[in-house]
Structure 1
Amino acid sequence: MTLRVQILKDKFNSSLGLPFKELLPTSVIEQAISELNIRYYRRLFDPIVTLWAFLSQVLDTDKSCQNPVSKIIAYLAGVGVEIPSTDTSAYCQARSRLPETLLQKLFRETGENLEEKVTTEYLWCGRNVKVIDGSTVSMPDTAENQKAYPQPSSQKPGCGFPIAKVGVIFSLATGAAIALCIDVMNTHDIKLARQLYQFLNPLDILLGDRAFCAYTDLIAIKKINCDAVFRKHQARKTSMRKGKIVGDCDKLVTWYKPKICPKGLSLDEFDILPPSITVREIYYYIVIPGFRTKRVSLITTLLDKVTYSTLDIVGLYDQRWDVELNLRHLKTTLGMDVLRCKTPSMVRKEIYVYLLAYNLLRSLMWSAATTYGTPALRLSLQGTRHHLNNFIPQLLAAASTKRLQIYRTLLKVIVHKTVSDRPGRSEPRVRKRRPKAYPLMTKPRHELRKQLQTA
């Protein structure tokens, strides 16, 4: 057993460990296991082998559990040792034994370690910018998943899928995911955000859309020595006659404490809020044909017009769209949109592994970009994943002396696949490809089967 485990560790270190050597080598995983005081039996699927297999599973287009088990059998068959059973039960049980705290810790450490590589030239006005947004993911329709993450109330029982709401903070410089929280679908974005403020570092700037623009949250962000740039919430009316004008379409306004305690706050938290806060309001118009939004009002706690000019802040908010692309990479490119695990605890683990894999790809893109002088955010994440998966067999087959050369070639080909920056692009929100002409499910499947049998 020990020999087989060591063989697998060496194989995974050669295939995945080398590209991600700076963020997730075996030593980092072992240190996290030690710090969390995780104890385990010496078996084929120990935490390290299981984690590497889990990562290879989410990075591949085939998400089945059979795929990583087949890879492990192939690795062991290649060196002539006893191969395990082709049954996926042992691997699935090993995944369930992986502590969620271990995956959380590794995910956060990869994001933080990648952030440490950001130099001054990649900062905005000398400060680090984090972007926040929320999204949803669906999962198999099991009783446990439905209980933890209920389907939309508008759908009949048995006709929908459980859905979880996720809130994520991304780094604007690297694109890496920094923090995550998971809740039920009908949770408001702002409630998720209040769980994520603790992961901001002093002097960070938080960038978000209008859902996060609330008096309480601006106070909370300033309290931790950070700043915010949000689009103004639609419920707040704009008045050009109020406020101190500091520039064209730029003024300082005073917001006063709400008269009624907002939802989500206790009376004690509401009572200690200051009576007012001064914010900066910037408004501008969008004249690009086809754009749905014609006027944008921004609210920020960056009051110094000399250090943070009007155009700088407008340009910064324009980059908020990157968070939508990051979420699309997670859900569409990597396939996190539809999860496969059948219990709530495994669903959360699966989400953390997806984010860990996403951060590792971002680290590979960052290494390639800084090595060859290309903007990291202009590189294709899908292309990076394709190159990585195609280079893995070569990394496995190569001798240790040649492996580093192959890794450098991998970095070189990654920068060949760039994504064009097309600001101001607008497309109609329509679908050309017609879906199949089947009706939507309006009754549970067992009722529909019975209906077919009696017809």
Structure 2
Amino acid sequence: MTLQVEILKQKFNQSLGLPFKELLPESVIEQGLWELKVKYKKRLFDPFITLWAFLSQVLDTDKSCHNAVSKIIAHLAGQGVEIPSSDTSAYCQARSRLPEQLLEKLFGKAAQNLEEKVKTEHLWCGRNVKVIDGSSVSMPDTGENQTAYPQPTNQKPGCGFPIAKIGVIFSLVTGAAVALAIDVLNTHDIKLARKLYSFLKPNDVLLGDRAFCAYADLISIKNLSCDAVFRKHQSRHTTMRKGKIIGSSDKLVTWHKPKKCPKGLTMAEFSALPLTLTVREIFYYIVIPDFRTEGVSLITTLLDITTYPTLKTVQLYYQRWQVELDLKHLKNTLGMDVFRCKTPSMVRKEIYAYLLAYNLLLPFDVVSRYYLWYTSKSPIAARYSPSFK
């Protein structure tokens, strides 16, 4: 999939005009503007031309506004209309007028269109799996950016760049980004995750690493009629003396409500938590040579071992690495690592523009990455040892 997106990116960069006009029709943008009740004037740099140019700009090797305006001129040259000036001020002003909510809405719509193409046989045990993770991005060192997204505290003033923390949910079946949260660098991953739970749909399964494995969050996910598969947090210990054994590496355990209110929760939210929660714990060893992790303990709210067998659950967690590859792909292949915009609002628009372009470039003949991987020879399927410590 990475190679396919790279090929499409190169094709779009080499084409004249505004190639995103074909992937993001004017009618779709018009619908988004109508839903947000956004009014605009009929002018050269209307929301349609501006958005198509913005998407091409973030993916282009030359990300300058001059290059974006040149693409607009090439597009209009074939329309038989008056060619605008090559000055960039009008385009920059039009880009700043684009509502952030419009980019967010179109980004979500592009992900939804991909998921609508997925067939039931491509899902994991009939469930749609979403993968969550966090990363960081830097931006120009301006006063506004430093105020909104301060540089790391261990750097001296003037020696670093503003950095934002982002949390992203990807669809495992399509590879599309479906939700985004942006905050300051020192924000914990779980705080970003709590902003993203609202994007989950009933019957989804959320897959994540140990940073997201918290009592309150498992309950929040269950309350949304969803389930979770997380690696167990290192502060909890695995033992055979507690729980009900349901398999050779599988047991049901009861977690108790924390005695103190965790950070990030209000007292009202803490008081509403139930006193106990039953979860399923799977412990296994990975015996792949030179593999960094040897013992893994998974926590999941999928309690039915018949519907969700142990091996399939272990294989699913192995696919969590896909989100690392997706984020790396966004940064390396598409260039979403260092942003160019000089204000926080434009930086957020730039992030959404990257994710929207990424979703639009994903192949239309969607086939589940998990399905392809699961039906092939998986190293984790044949080379793990189920056992409790």
Both proteins in one fold, TM over 0.5: yes
Q: Deviations over 1:377-397 (max 9, x none)?
A: 899xxxxxxxxxxxxxxxxxx
Q: Does 1:161 align with 2:161?
A: yes
What is the deviation of 1:12? Answer: 6.3
What is the deviation of 1:422? Answer: 8.6
Compared CA separation, residues 422 and 149, structure 1 to 2 (3 A):
farther
What is the deviation of 1:85? Answer: 1.4
* Residue number in structure 2 paired with 1:221: 221
Work out whether residues 17 and 75 of structure 2, in 8 Å CA contact, stay in contact via their aligned partners in 1: no
Q: Deviations over 1:336-360 (max 9, x none)?
A: 1100000000000000010100110
Q: Deviations over 1:254-301 (max 9, x none)?
A: 000000000000111101100000000001111112122110000000
Give the fraction of aligned pairs with identical amino acids, expressed as a percent: 73
What is the deviation of 1:78? Answer: 4.6
What is the deviation of 1:76? Answer: 3.0
Q: Does 1:179 align with 2:183?
A: no
What is the deviation of 1:421? Answer: 9.4
* Residue number in structure 1 paired with 2:283: 283
- For 2:200 and 2:343, locate their aligned partners in 1 and report how far apart those are by CA, in whole Å: 31
Compared CA separation, residues 279 and 346, structure 1 to 2 (3 A):
same
Q: Secondary structure at the match of 1:277?
A: strand
- For 1:108 and 1:74, locate their aligned partners in 2 and report how far apart those are by CA, in whole Å: 29
Work out whether residues 175 and 377 of structure 1, in 8 Å CA contact, stay in contact via their aligned partners in 2: no
- For 1:422 and 1:324, locate their aligned partners in 2 and report how far apart those are by CA, in whole Å: 18
Work out whether residues 57 and 68 of structure 1, in 8 Å CA contact, stay in contact via their aligned partners in 2: yes
Q: Does 1:34 align with 2:34?
A: yes
* Residue number in structure 2 paired with 1:16: 20
Work out whether residues 366 and 376 of structure 1, in 8 Å CA contact, stay in contact via their aligned partners in 2: no
- For the pair shown, which has the larger CA radius of gyration, 1 or 2? 1
* Residue number in structure 2 paired with 1:341: 341
* Residue number in structure 1 paired with 2:244: 244
- For 1:194 and 1:41, locate their aligned partners in 2 and report how far apart those are by CA, in whole Å: 38
What is the deviation of 1:16? Answer: 2.5
Work out whether residues 150 and 162 of structure 1, in 8 Å CA contact, stay in contact via their aligned partners in 2: yes
Alignment of 1:294-333 (within 5 A): 294-333=294-333
Q: Secondary structure at the match of 1:303?
A: coil
Give the counterpart letter for 2:303 in structure 1. L
* Residue number in structure 2 paired with 1:232: 232
- For 1:95 and 1:215, locate their aligned partners in 2 and report how far apart those are by CA, in whole Å: 43
Give the counterpart letter for 1:211 in structure 2. A
Q: Deviations over 1:224-274 (max 9, x none)?
A: 110000000011111122111100111110000000000000111101100
Instruction: Give unpaired runs (5+ residues) of structure 2.
Output: 1-15, 381-389
* Residue number in structure 1 paired with 2:9: none
Please give the TM-score of this superposition, normalised by the length of structure 1: 0.77
2:364 maps to which of 363, 366, 384? 366
Work out whether residues 319 and 370 of structure 2, in 8 Å CA contact, stay in contact via their aligned partners in 1: no
Give the counterpart letter for 1:218 in structure 2. L
- For 1:245 and 1:123, locate their aligned partners in 2 and report how far apart those are by CA, in whole Å: 28
Work out whether residues 50 and 91 of structure 1, in 8 Å CA contact, stay in contact via their aligned partners in 2: yes
Compared CA separation, residues 59 and 192, structure 1 to 2 (3 A):
same
What is the deviation of 1:81? Answer: 3.9
Work out whether residues 142 and 342 of structure 2, in 8 Å CA contact, stay in contact via their aligned partners in 1: yes
Work out whether residues 336 and 354 of structure 1, in 8 Å CA contact, stay in contact via their aligned partners in 2: yes
Deviates more, 1:114-123 or 1:254-263: 114-123
- For 2:230 and 2:326, locate their aligned partners in 1 and report how far apart those are by CA, in whole Å: 18
* Residue number in structure 2 paired with 1:271: 271
Q: Secondary structure at the match of 2:102?
A: helix
Compared CA separation, residues 147 and 198, structure 1 to 2 (3 A):
same
What is the deviation of 1:172? Answer: 0.4
What is the deviation of 1:75? Answer: 2.9
Please give the TM-score of this superposition, normalised by the length of structure 2: 0.89
Give the counterpart letter for 2:349 in structure 1. K
- For 1:423 and 1:287, locate their aligned partners in 2 and report how far apart those are by CA, in whole Å: 10
What is the deviation of 1:105? Answer: 0.9
Q: Secondary structure at the match of 1:140?
A: coil
Alignment of 1:78-93 (within 5 A): 78=78, 81-93=81-93
Give the counterpart letter for 1:16 in structure 2. F
* Residue number in structure 2 paired with 1:400: none
Compared CA separation, residues 315 and 377, structure 1 to 2 (3 A):
closer
Q: Deviations over 1:20-49 (max 9, x none)?
A: 2xxx32111001111211112221110011
Q: How many residues align?
A: 362
- For 1:12 and 1:177, locate their aligned partners in 2 and report how far apart those are by CA, in whole Å: 26
Work out whether residues 139 and 339 of structure 2, in 8 Å CA contact, stay in contact via their aligned partners in 1: yes
Q: Deviations over 1:178-236 (max 9, x none)?
A: 11110000000000111111110111000000000000000100111100000000111
Q: Secondary structure at the match of 1:217?
A: helix
